[in-house]
Amino acid sequence: MKRKTKLIHGGISEDPATGAVSFPIYQVSTYKQEGVGGHKGYEYSRTGNPTRNALEVLIKDIEGGSAGFAFGSGMAAITAVMMLFNSGDHVILTDDVYGGTFRVMTKVLNRVGIDSTFVDTSNIENIKDAIRPTTKAIYIETPTNPLLKITDIEAAAKIAKENHLLTIVDNTFSTPYWQNPLELGADIVLHSATKYIGGHSDVVAGLVVVNNDKLAEELHFVQNSTGGVLGPQDSWLLIRGIKTLGIRMEETEANTKAIVEFLQGHSKVEKVFYPGLESHPNHAIAKKQARGFGGMVSFDVGSAEKADQILSKINYFTLAESLGAVESLISVPARMTHASIPTERRAELGITDGLVRISVGLEDVEDLIEDLAQALE
C-alpha cells in the first residue's frame, strides 16, 4: 500500500460490525463480561477502547512499527515514554527540544531521579561525548523547534545500538508522511498529534509507536498504570485528520517553499531557517532521511520591536502557540513556546528576541506572501 492509500485504508478503517466507513466513536468506559474475565477484548477504557485502538493501529501502520499508543497530549506521551526509565538513569536530548520537553525533564522528571543532558545532536560527536555508564537513551527532535536543526537519525541510532541505548525521535515537525524514524533505526517515535496529525487546531493529543513487543508491553503497562489516555472523541478526530495528512503536507510544503523564497529575498529579513534551503547546514541529511522539508520556517528580523511590528500588522497569520494546522500561525518563540527556557540558555541556543516562527497553512500562498510583505514594510 502506498503512503496516501495507507493513511485512508491503514489500521482498522471501517466498523466490522456495521460496515460504517467511518470508525465509530465508542463513548464508553466499561464493557459487559459474560462471566468473570469473559470479555470481548475490552474491560475498561483506560486499558483499551475500540476507537482509541483503531487510532493506535493506524499510527502503528503509518510509522511502520509494532504497536501504537494514544495519549491525552504530546507531553503525556513524552512523559509516559520517559517512565520506561528508572531513578538514576540518564537520557541525552537535543539541546533545542520543545520548551515543554526541556521543562518536564529538568523540573519534573529530575525529581524522580531521571537525569538529562542537552547537546547539539546535529553534531553526532556531541552524542558520543555525552554518554555515561547510566545513559539509557538518546532523545532526538528533528527538525527542531524553532531553529529547524536536523539530526542524522541513522547515525544517532547506530551510536545508540553500539552502546545499548534506545533511540527516541520526536517526529512532530516532519510527520509520518515525510519521515519514518523507525525505518532509520530508531526504537520509539512520538508525536504531538495536536499539530499536523490532527491538523485543524481542534484537538490536543500525543501518539507513540514502538518497534518491538517488549517495548510495547512495557509502554502499555505505563499507559494503563499512569492513565494519560486519549478519549474516544479525540481519537476519532485524529483518525479523520490522518486521512488528509498526505494532501495537507504536500500543499503545505508547496506554500512553504514559495514563502521561503520570498523571505530570503527580503531586505528586512536577516536570516531564514528552513531545512529545504541548500544553504541550511544540515540540508543534505534532511534530504537523505525525509521525503519533504515541512511547513515550519523561522526568520530573524533583528529585534523584539521589529518582531512586534510584524505581529501587529499581520492579517492571515494567527498569532498563536502551536503549529501544523490548516490556518497559518505566527509566533515569537522567545516569548511564547520557549519562554520556559531560561534567558541565558535561549541566547546560547540562538533563539533571539527577533526570531519569528511561522507555521504555513493551506491558504492561497499569494495571500500569505502579500500579507508578509505588507507586515515587513
Catalytic residues: 46, 98, 170, 195
Q: What angle do CA 160, 166, 170 make, to 5 degrees?
A: 105
Q: Give the count of alpha carbons within 13 A of 127, CB side only.
A: 28
Task: Specify the stretch interacting with ligand PLP by CB under 6 A; choose among 67-75, 210-218, 228-236, 364-372.
Answer: 67-75
Q: Which of 85, 98, 293, 317 binds ligand PLP (CB under 6 A)?
A: 98
Q: Tell which residue, 245, 150, 153, has the closest CA to residue 207.
A: 245
| Residue carrying C-alpha cell 460504517 | 20
User: Cβ distance 134 to 88 under 8 Å?
Assistant: yes
Binding of ligand PLP by 94 (CB under 6 A): no
Binding pattern to ligand PLP, positions 101-120, x when CB under 6 A?
A: x-------------------
- Comparison of 190 and 375: residue with beta carbon closer to ligand PLP: 190
User: Cβ distance 338 to 230 under 8 Å?
Assistant: no
Binding of ligand PLP by 293 (CB under 6 A): no
- Comparison of 24 and 100: residue with beta carbon closer to ligand PLP: 100
Interface residues for ligand PLP in 159-178 (CB under 6 A)?
170, 172
Binding of ligand PLP by 231 (CB under 6 A): no
Number of shown-chain residues binding ligand PLP (CB under 6 A): 14
Task: Specify the stretch interacting with ligand PLP by CB under 6 A; choose among 20-28, 49-57, 95-103, 263-271.
Answer: 95-103
DSSP character at residue 198: T
User: Cβ distance 51 to 61 under 8 Å?
Assistant: no
Q: Give the number of other CB atoms < 10 A from CB of residue 377.
A: 10
**Cα separation, 24 vs 22, whole angstroms:** 6
Closest residue to ligand PLP, based on beta-carbon distance? 74
- Comparison of 205 and 375: residue with beta carbon closer to ligand PLP: 205
- Which CA distances in Å does 328 have to 133, 256, 287, 362? 45, 10, 24, 7
The torsion of the CA quartet 312, 315, 320, 323, rounded to 10 degrees, works out to -140
Q: Which of 143, 176, 206, 294 binds ligand PLP (CB under 6 A)?
A: 206
Residue 98 C-beta: closest distance to ligand PLP, Å: 4
Give the binding site for ligand PLP (CB under 6 A): 73-75, 98, 100-101, 141, 145, 170, 172, 192, 194, 204, 206
